[in-house]
Structure 1
Amino acid sequence: MSRFAESKQQGFTLVELVAVIVLLGFVGTASVQFIRQGIEVYVDSARRDNLQQQARFAVERVTRELKNALPGSVRILSDANNQCVEFMPVIAATTYIDSIANTTVGTLNVIDFNYSYISGDRLAIYTFDNASVYGGTPNITELTAAANGAVANTQLLSFDNITINNESPTRRAYIVAGAVSFCASDGELRRHSGYTPNGNPPTPADGIPISDALRVEDTGAAITVFDFSFDSLQRAGTVLLDFRFHDSSATDEWLKMDQTVFVRNVP
């Protein structure tokens, strides 16, 4: 007899191995499902957060600029593919001193507003409506210089001769540089500047993208993205924004944001 005791061999049976494999399969499947659901929740949350950020940014950008529009300059433009709100942002504003009603002038004494002349700037006086901004004889003229006035705390503005038929009720004078517009097409919101206004929407490709999720129709129905109420001497008007955002990767989710913008400046 061997001096070494015989050892009894032990192991797993085939049934035990199959049972373990089946259990591991269940655990693995459950783990994958749990991880997949977590990833889907994260992806949905990130997509919704991105859509909300786009919406907030678009509304805030349009609202801030529209509030500073030149009186009479806001107008709605549209064609088959675009809806636009166009206006002239105010660079600076002051009050002129002497009456200029029914006169042709080339200089204007104003209260000092620390304005430094820049080529391309323009002077606007009593721009009550679109005709006085974009018409054949607008109340806007090219500035040529700005200097200290003869009296303390005044400035003298020089410009191309302009005939003013009506006095601004508060003798307001505005400095502007050019037109700006926000244009909505299906899937895009763009900001346009540096173009010559002609009553038509600017070329879409020339604008700076603000959002790539704005829609101009909902289930086949057209959306009025911009709606403007006309000016008065008491307030320069209101613009209603109806912004609807939709991510193409989620067919059943929309984000709607309505905003009424009060244009602060008055003629």
Structure 2
Amino acid sequence: MRGVKGFTLIELIMVIVLLAIVATVSVQFVALSTRGALDLGARQQRALQGVVIGEQISRQLREAFPLSVRVSGSCLEWLPLLGATNYIQRTQGPGFDKIAVVPFNPVPPVGSRMVIYGYGTGTGELYENTGPGPVSPPATAISASQVTLGSSHRFTQQSPERRLFAVGAPVSICQSGRMLYRYTGYGRSETQVSPPTGGSRAVMSANLAGPVNFSVTPPSLQRAAVVAFTLTLQDYTTGSNEVTTTVQEVQIRNVP
């Protein structure tokens, strides 16, 4: 009689145990590999986000009137530079509302404010709405040879190079908890308000960790203004809570 071939119960149990061990190791390997890929992707995303935010801030600051950049707490504020030219004659009586100029290129929009010099004055004077001072009321007309102001104004200083600058409404970047906002369309104030009231805001980041540090080295006649900022982005999605820190400096060219 031929013997009956097959598996014993013990052999079957051993095979099942071995398969379970292999499956467990395989699952752990796949899980760790997937976790590593997710963490790597999150790090790359935070790094790219930090580059994008830093570039957004840098590009805007490079177009700022350097004497207007100021910091209060976690808020950075400046006046955008919209155009520049040379003036032929500052405002004169009796109206004190017209400036003779060399043509702007490009021409700033109507509503821009004109600035002459501004060194030796406080930053707050660039945000004032009264005269005499370095900043004029909004312009109501800008032609190739003349800027007409909405009301009379006397400039307190002259530029050594007879330079005239057109600036726009103030802009701020402020932190609020995990959020970083860009504020526009709010009113001017001699004292910096942080965050600004009124106007509108747009989200720049929603995953900040810790405070955003802004610092300003004011310009002088010998060197440009420098704005430094440090921000830390945290991963709130994968549960790792890893952080990526961005440190950057922006040089703003002098405009005496």
TM-score w.r.t. the length of structure 1 is 0.80
CA distance in 2, matches of 1:244, 1:102: 51
CA distance in 2, matches of 1:191, 1:246: 20
Aligned to 1:151: none
- Aligned partner letter, 1:16: E
CA distance in 2, matches of 1:16, 1:131: 87
Map residues 132-211 of structure 1 onto 2, 5 A cutoff: 132-135=125-128, 136-137=130-131, 138=133, 139-148=135-144, 155-160=145-150, 161-198=152-189, 199-201=192-194, 202-203=196-197, 206-211=200-205
CA distance in 1, matches of 2:2, 2:102: 110
- Aligned partner letter, 1:238: V
Aligned to 1:3: none
Shift, 1:48, TM fit: 0.9
CA distance in 1, matches of 2:104, 2:200: 34
Map residues 67-146 of structure 1 onto 2, 5 A cutoff: 67-78=62-73, 83-98=74-89, 100=90, 105-116=96-107, 118-128=109-119, 129-135=122-128, 136-137=130-131, 138=133, 139-146=135-142
Shift, 1:35, TM fit: 0.6
- Aligned partner letter, 1:255: T
CA distance in 1, matches of 2:57, 2:166: 20
Aligned residue pairs: how many?
A: 244
What is the aligned-residue RMSD (CA, Å)? 2.7
- Aligned partner letter, 1:213: N
Shift, 1:116, TM fit: 4.4
Deviations 1:146-205 (A, max 9, x none): 223xxxxxx322223220121112222122220001112332221111111332111599
The yes-or-no answer on 1:260 pairing with 2:249 is yes
Which of structures 1 and 2 has the bigger CA Rg? 1
CA distance in 1, matches of 2:13, 2:108: 87
Using a 3 Å threshold, how does the CA distance of structure 1 residues 242 and 144 change in structure 2: closer, same or farther? same
Q: % of aligned pairs identical?
A: 32
CA distance in 2, matches of 1:116, 1:260: 30
Deviations 1:77-128 (A, max 9, x none): 23xxxx1010011112112234x38877322232323444634322222233
Indicate if the aligned counterparts of 1:124 and 1:141 stay in contact, CA closer than 8 A. no
Using a 3 Å threshold, how does the CA distance of structure 1 residues 63 and 101 change in structure 2: closer, same or farther? same
Aligned to 2:240: 250
Aligned to 1:227: 215
Indicate if the aligned counterparts of 1:235 and 1:263 stay in contact, CA closer than 8 A. no
- State the SS of the aligned residue for 2:221: coil
- State the SS of the aligned residue for 1:233: coil
Using a 3 Å threshold, how does the CA distance of structure 1 residues 89 and 140 change in structure 2: closer, same or farther? same
TM-score w.r.t. the length of structure 2 is 0.83
- Unaligned ranges ≥5, structure 2: none
Using a 3 Å threshold, how does the CA distance of structure 1 residues 58 and 205 change in structure 2: closer, same or farther? farther
Aligned to 1:55: 50
Indicate if the aligned counterparts of 1:76 and 1:84 stay in contact, CA closer than 8 A. yes
- State the SS of the aligned residue for 2:68: coil
- Unaligned ranges ≥5, structure 1: 1-5, 149-154, 218-222
CA distance in 2, matches of 1:205, 1:176: 18
- State the SS of the aligned residue for 2:169: coil
Aligned to 1:36: 31
- State the SS of the aligned residue for 2:154: strand
CA distance in 2, matches of 1:110, 1:165: 18
CA distance in 2, matches of 1:205, 1:140: 22
The yes-or-no answer on 1:22 pairing with 2:13 is no
- State the SS of the aligned residue for 2:33: helix
- Aligned partner letter, 2:136: I
Shift, 1:31, TM fit: 1.1
